[in-house]
Structure 1
């Protein structure tokens, strides 16, 4: 009894102690869960070890070489499959008429076990190409032959009836062999598997198309130039260049052709230059006549310099341009002679000198001997130059020679800028015959020159200048024998 009480107390004491420390007795149910987890880890590790060992001799699942899948394969199987890439393939070139040229592709890839084994751990492999592959293929492609064909033509600008226009390009039939070879080589390298080509797809194309920026800009420049307004100021006149004329100035590149501009300036020069205009003159008797200009009195347009200025204006970016023509000569020399000049009246054998519109010299003269071959020819002349103390030498109609010393000598320039070898000079050895209107009918007549008293000649020489007008008029030689040997102009009545 005492023993049971002791045991009971001990048990209670133990429980009380356990309760006081907070500890719970172990749960034997957790032990079965740990066993499967350990087993799973061991199996996974085993699979990893097996997989690692497997892929030491096999390619990874997603592996491919040049686009060909070789996943899970060993080296032998992969080599066998990849060698199919070197299978018999052909390049076929078809002509427009349906004829074919066929090329067998050389072996492209160098597929070796050593290479595959070295890259077995790679997922994307690029096979090495045989060193001779490209050279062999290019050699075969170079052997291709094609018909000569018609060449393509570039678009271009031409001048038509309505102005400048773009002529469209034309496509030819010449094969671009280099382009075809480049395409074949690229396709074979990429293993497209489609190696049939039509030569019509490789005809050489025009280099310049109708809608190209180059032609578009060029056409815009031409349109702007041919529609611009260019006015040429010529002394006190002006002329606007017509659009049709502007078009002729432009070449195909849209630039002004100075030669064409010069041709136009040359064409209009006689119309505007005073040196080309007739001379209007009213003589001392009140008769007004129009004479041909001898080509030295007045001013003319400097063709080259004026054309250069117009060329610059055409090529400028401005829509409007005014060009001032370059003038050669004296713009004050009017086509109406009424200021400073010499007037010779053949019928009355008189000479007059007007300076600034005022008559300062009036003197009798003796003109050419009565024969058209020695006549003093009517018309508009100018003084060519002035000389003093010289000898006038020549031959008369009968062949006799003459040599006349003169104090003052002023030769004349006649129509067409002809040096007539006649002029105005002193002749005092004929002093007593001046005033005889019939002296020219005798041996006193000159060889065409205007013989003048020394005093009057001295005054005239001092007041005159080279280029000064000399107007000769009269009809005394109209009925003379022989023929005139110099230009004659009686003038037209105005």
Structure 2
């Protein structure tokens, strides 16, 4: 081996990995510097994509962003058109933009700017100050009556401005920053609450027309009576409910027309004279008005197209308007009284009627026995003002025309026995104060065979020329 070769040092060549490491480390260092710089930058600046109320504030600090965003508070005007005129309202400052608020929100991608607290209040006050003409109010669709039924009258649109709706719309639009604020008051006229297509209204119409076309027949003690459709329409209110007061009125009219207790009575007296007298309301049968009304209301509210109502009645349905079986007959002209039972004369007796003056007369007409009492005392005041009290064994007060309790009745008066048969006794002090004085023996038979509600027919003209005035309802009867 050569000496020169022994003293030479050998060098290794750089590897490929070492060649790549240096640039990579440089790049990483650069990125770190950039990252730190970016971090520090965006501590005081908004991100690239940052927006405030849709306005880009990319890469801006709070001060610059505030200056840019101030354009959102530019002066804007709300225009209200009223016919050919326009009302202009300048919008207040909308947003409360401060550097402090923006600094507090750096780092956010989207920012909603706070509204000026006075914005809505000021704008609302300005809009409220607007004055519009009174206008014509809108009218709701409604149900109206027509011949034979009901129909819907359509709604009518008026010209009254709904200021509340207008203000609400302006506030909403300006709050969103719509940018164009022109409004015609015609678009804000108050609208009807009910239209002709309203389901509830059409339901009421269907109910009403179903009711008004219903066929209702009443059975009034065997007689068929129709509840007319005109009457049905009359008792129905527009909302489909029933006016019960009008039902009452119709039932009262029907009762008056068909009830026996409201019809005149026919009576043939012992002399063969037949007359018609006004009923006092207690004889014969009548319609039970309360129950009939309830039945009619139920029939009207039913779902059926036809209804049959059996009318409840009061009184004796067998009593007819012709009196021929049980009754007391008082013939004042002859001062006689007759008692008939089952068509047979049971008692015939002389009597003494009221003293000869119209205010103490026995009253002609149709009466019924109100009640019966024994061993009682009749008291009152004589025409001269002096009191009286008369004990009687039998007492039957009468109910007179119009349902009047006249205090006139039939009773025994044996202390007048010697005067019975004297047809002129009633013209003396033996005349009564209107009662029918009767011998005790005859009165006993009448009392035992009579009953409450039995007819008492009184006739005669002996008081026609008597002094004074009648103070009780009288009825001489009409020839039949």
TM interval, shorter chain, is 0.7 to 0.9
Deviation at 1:284, TM superposition (A): 4.6
Given candidates 86, 92, 96, the residue that maps to 2:83 is: 96
Residue in 1 aligned with 2:53? 66
After TM superposition, the structure 1 = structure 2 runs for residues 375-386 of structure 1, keeping only pairs within 5 Å, are: 376-386=362-372
Separation in structure 1 between the aligned mates of residue 127 and residue 378 of structure 2, nearest angstrom:
93
Match of 2:213 in 1: 227
What is the CA–CA distance in structure 2 between the aligned matches of 1:181 and 1:400, rounded to whole Å? 88
Match of 2:286?
A: 300
Match of residue 359, structure 1, among 335, 344, 347: 344
Q: Residues 400 and 361 from structure 1, CA distance in 2 versus in 1: closer, same or farther, beyond 3 angstroms?
A: farther
Residue 13 (structure 1) aligns with: none
1:64 deviates by 5.0
Partner of 2:237: 251
Q: Output the CA distance in 1 between the equivalents of 2:376 and 2:60.
A: 125
Q: 2:195 aligns with which of 206, 209, 221?
A: 209
Give distance in 2, aligned partners of 1:476 and 1:145.
84
Indicate the SS of the match to 2:85: coil
- Structure exhibiting the larger radius of gyration computed from Cα positions: 1
Is 1:393–1:404's contact at 8 Å kept on the other side of the alignment?
A: no
Does the CA-based 8 Å contact 2:368-2:453 persist in structure 1?
A: yes
Structure 1 residues 47 and 464, CA, compared in 2 at 3 Å: closer, same or farther? same
Structure 2, unaligned stretches of length 5 or more?
Answer: 1-15
Partner Cα separation in structure 2 for residue 422 and residue 340 of structure 1: 20
How far the C-alpha of 1:154 sits from its partner, in A, is 2.5
Task: Report the 3-state secondary structure (helix = DSSP H, G, I; strand = E; otherwise coil) of the residue aligned with 2:138.
Answer: coil
Choose which of 156, 173, 193 in structure 1 pairs with 2:179.
193
**Equivalent pair of 1:281/1:288 in contact (CA under 8 Å):** yes
Worse overlay, 275-284 or 254-263? 275-284
Match of 1:415 in 2: 401
CA deviation vs aligned residue, 1:387-425 (integer Å, no higher than 9, x gap): 3353576657x9999876543232333333344554333
**8 Å Cα contact 2:356-2:431 kept in structure 1:** no
| 1:171 correspondence with 2:132 | no
- The number of residues matched between the two structures is 457
Tell me: CA distance 1:418–1:61, structure 2 relative to 1, closer, same or farther (3 Å): closer
Aligned pair partner of 1:263 in 231, 237, 249: 249
- Normalising to structure 1: TM-score of the pair? 0.75
Q: 2:66 & 2:164 partners in 1: Cα distance?
A: 35
Whether the aligned pair in 2 keeps the contact of 1:366 and 1:445 (CA below 8 Å) is: no
- Give the direction of change, closer, same or farther, for the CA distance of 1:51–1:130 in structure 2 (3 Å limit): farther
1:345 Cα deviation after fit:
4.4
Residue 271 of structure 1 deviates from its aligned partner by 0.8
| Aligned counterparts of 1:147 and 1:375: Cα–Cα separation in 2 | 77
Matches within 5 A, 1:262-341: 262-284=248-270, 287-341=273-327
2:445 maps to 1:466: no
More moved, 328-337 vs 237-246: 328-337
> How much has 1:459 moved relative to structure 2?
1.2
Whole-angstrom distance in 2 between the partners of 1:73 and 1:490 = 116
Q: 1:369 to 1:225 in 2, by over 3 A?
A: closer
Q: Which secondary structure state, in structure 2, belongs to the residue aligned with residue 488 of structure 1?
A: coil
Counterpart-to-counterpart distance in 1, 2:462 and 2:238: 59
**Contact persistence 1:367–1:450 (CA under 8 A):** yes
- Contact 1:380-1:489 at 8 Å conserved across structures: no
Q: CA deviation at 1:462?
A: 1.0
Q: Distance in 2 between matches of 1:131 and 1:409?
A: 95
| Residues 401 and 474, structure 2, Cα contact 8 Å, conserved in 1 | yes
Cα distance in 2 for residues equivalent to 1:444 and 1:132: 103
* Residues 434-474 of structure 1, C-alpha deviations (whole Å, 9 max, x = no match): 567x556875974454443332221111111222112234x
Tell me how far apart the structure 1 counterparts of residues 94 and 169 of structure 2 sit (CA, whole Å): 19
Distance of 2:33 and 2:60 partners within structure 1: 18
Aligned pairs for 1:72-111 within 5 A: 81-108=68-95, 110=97
In structure 2, C-alpha distance between the alignment counterparts of 1:370 and 1:106, rounded to whole Å: 105
Counterpart-to-counterpart distance in 2, 1:406 and 1:135: 94
Distance 1:427 1:180, change over 3 A: closer
Residue in 1 that maps onto 2:438? 452
Superimposed CA distance per residue, residues 21-41 of structure 1 (whole angstroms, 9 cap, x where no aligned partner): xxxxxxxxxx9xxx9xxx9xx
Cα distance, 1:318 vs. partner?
3.7
Q: Is the 8 A contact 1:365 1:452 kept in 2?
A: yes
SS of the aligned residue for 1:99 comes to: strand
Provide the alpha-carbon RMSD of the alignment: 4.3
